[in-house]
Amino acid sequence: MPAPVTATAAPPSQAGAPADSTPADGPPQEPPPPAPWWARALRAAGVSAICLIIGLLVLTVVYGVTIDQQGGELTDRLIVLFVVDLLVGLAATLAVGPMRRAGVANLLLVAALAVSGMSVAAAAVALARLGERRARLLDGAAIVLAVACSVVSFLLFRWAEGSSSGTLPWEMLLTCAFAAAALLWGRARGTRAALIASLRAQASTARRERDALEREHLALIAQAQAEQRAAIARDMHDSLSHHLSLIAMHAGALEYRRDLPEAQRQEAASIIRRGAQAANTELREVLGALRADGMPLPTAADLVTMLEDARAAGQEVTLVWSDASADGAARADGTAKGGVPFAPEMLDGMSRAGVVTLVRIARELLTNARKHAPGARLDLRLHRAGEQLVLRAANPVPQEAPAAGARLGLVGVRERIVLLGGSLHIEDRAAGRFAVEARLPWRD
């Protein structure tokens, strides 16, 4: 009997799990596709061929023993019975392969046992197929038919031999055991097939339930996001519209009332300034709430902190602050001709997007140096050249440098710089140094 198949149903995905996640036991397997016609035909031919070989062996043994008992001579009755046995056996063995899906019609192959011992292998296959249906009434009918066929076969042989002796009860008992064994074999196969089909159905149902739960979870998330956006939109409308209406009203008064006293003009300008500041503050709060990660944007102070953290981790990094905007050349001590150094505090006068991009570029350069030139010194130079902020980075390339990656980080850096109207230049590694120059527009 085949070993039973066991499986564990995969639990539905928990809330918040990604939609493409799969259980630890793997995705549910679909039923295998049906075999092509030529494979089915080849299988049927193989079953018929095996049954034919076994049947010929049985026919040879049975009639060889009978001829030996008759002293080497065959009576006419035995010859007729041999021909009938051979013809019926050939028909049964040739039909057993194509009758794979015949169902109850396989009882005809069992009935062939009455006149043909050659059809015993075909009858065994037919009984196994009937057992796969797992119907007690059909199993009982098959056993009764097989036993009845054994009785008929016993009587025919006694008639052909002209003898009344024999062991009919033993033949009936052996036939009953033979039929029961074939039926049990078929029932085990049918039970295994039904179990596999049931497990596949359960896995398919569990997958549909999991997909439904994931769709419901995503729908709830989308609903909550929509409600949150609607609430933010209402808050922006209630707060910003108030400030903007005040700004518009007083700006209009300043535009059309040219006869206003200086005190009233100053008061109106002060109201406009306060309203713009309040609107700007509230807008920043709203945009901060809309950020996916909820983390504040980096500042110029974060650049210094990031370099200090890299040094503390063992990476050799130098940063030179200089200002070449005054005389076109920076001094070695990082001060311009007027003696004013270019310090991190001066970056606060740069646009917010520029500072954020500068920090992102420096972080990517630190990561690249750590990955592709471990232990090498990274030199950074930052200065302002006219209306541009220039960041230069250089580090030696080891002779046995790790393999270069896809440079997706530098691609992202270039996209950030281009969006701001800047440029990025990467020098060749042929000289044994990897150098990068990034230019950002300086916007107040």
- Sheet containing 378-385: order of strands: 317-323, 378-385, 388-396, 433-441, 423-426
Q: By the 8 A CB rule, do 189 and 132 touch?
A: yes
Average pLDDT of the segment spanning 294-320: 78
Higher-pLDDT residue of 151 and 343 is 151
Q: CB count, 10 Å around CB of 349?
A: 11
Q: What is each CA distance from 78 to 64, 81, 150, 341, in whole angstroms?
A: 12, 5, 17, 123
More confident residue, 439 or 397: 439
pTM for this structure?
A: 0.42
Q: End-to-end distance of the chain based on CA atoms, in angstroms?
A: 84
In the structure, what pLDDT confidence band is assigned to residue 211 with cuts at 50, 70 and 90? very high
pLDDT tens for each residue of 238-264: 666 666 767 777 777 777 777 778 787
Q: Is the pLDDT of residue 27 over 60?
A: no
Could you tell me which of 186, 198, 151 has the C-alpha nearest to residue 171? Answer: 151
Q: Could you give the count of Cα atoms lying within 13 Å of 224 in the half-sphere of its Cβ?
A: 6
Does residue 154 register a pLDDT over 80? yes
Could you give the CA distance from residue 311 to residue 420 in angstroms, rounded to a whole number? 30
Which of 9-13, 72-76, 165-169, 206-210 is predicted with the least confidence, judged by mean pLDDT? 9-13
pLDDT tier at 199, thresholds 50, 70, 90: very high
Confidence band of 8 (pLDDT split at 50, 70, 90): very low
Model pLDDT, residue 323: 58
Under DSSP, the state recorded for 335 is B
For residue 246 the two structure tokens come to: 């005040």
C-beta neighbour count of 163 within 10 angstroms: 10
- The answer to whether residue 12 scores a pLDDT higher than 50 is no
Mean pLDDT for the stretch of residues 397-424: 72
- Does the pLDDT at position 234 exceed 70? no
* pLDDT of 327 higher than 70: no
The closest alpha carbon to 397, from 369, 439, 417, 360, belongs to 369
Judged against a pLDDT cut of 80, whether residue 349 lies above it is answered with: no
378: helix, strand or coil: strand
The b-or-e profile of 16-39 (16+ CB within 10 A means b, else e) is eeeeeeebeeeebeeeeeeeeeee
Q: Does 76 have pLDDT greater than 50?
A: yes
Q: Which of the listed ranges 191-205, 249-263, 314-328, 352-366 does the model predict with the highest average pLDDT? A: 191-205
- Which residue has 């996001």 as its token pair? 225
How much is the average pLDDT of 260-288?
Answer: 74
Q: If DSSP codes are grouped into helix, strand and coil, which group holds residue 31? A: coil
- How confident is the model over 278-286, as a mean pLDDT? 69
**According to the model, what pLDDT value does residue 305 have?**
84
In this prediction, what percent of the chain has a pLDDT beyond 90? 6
pLDDT higher than 90, residue 209: yes
- Could you tell me which of 66, 58, 62 has the C-alpha nearest to residue 93? 58
Query: What is the predicted pLDDT for the residue at 11?
Result: 39
What mean pLDDT do residues 383-403 have? 79
Q: Is the pLDDT of residue 289 over 70?
A: no
Rounded Cα distance between 415 and 404, Å, is 20
Q: Which of 48, 34, 40, 42 lies closest to 126, judged by CA?
A: 48
Provide the pLDDT confidence category of residue 356 given band limits of 50, 70 and 90.
confident
Supply the DSSP string of 170-227, one letter for each residue. Answer: HHHHHHHHHHHHHHHHHHHHHHHHHHHHHHHHHHHHHHHHHHHHHHHHHHHHHHHHHH
| Average pLDDT of the chain to the nearest whole number | 76
Looking at the DSSP assignment, which residues form a beta bridge with residue 320? Answer: 381
Please determine, for residue 334, whether its predicted confidence score (pLDDT) is greater than 50: no
Q: What is the mean pLDDT of residues 2-29?
A: 39
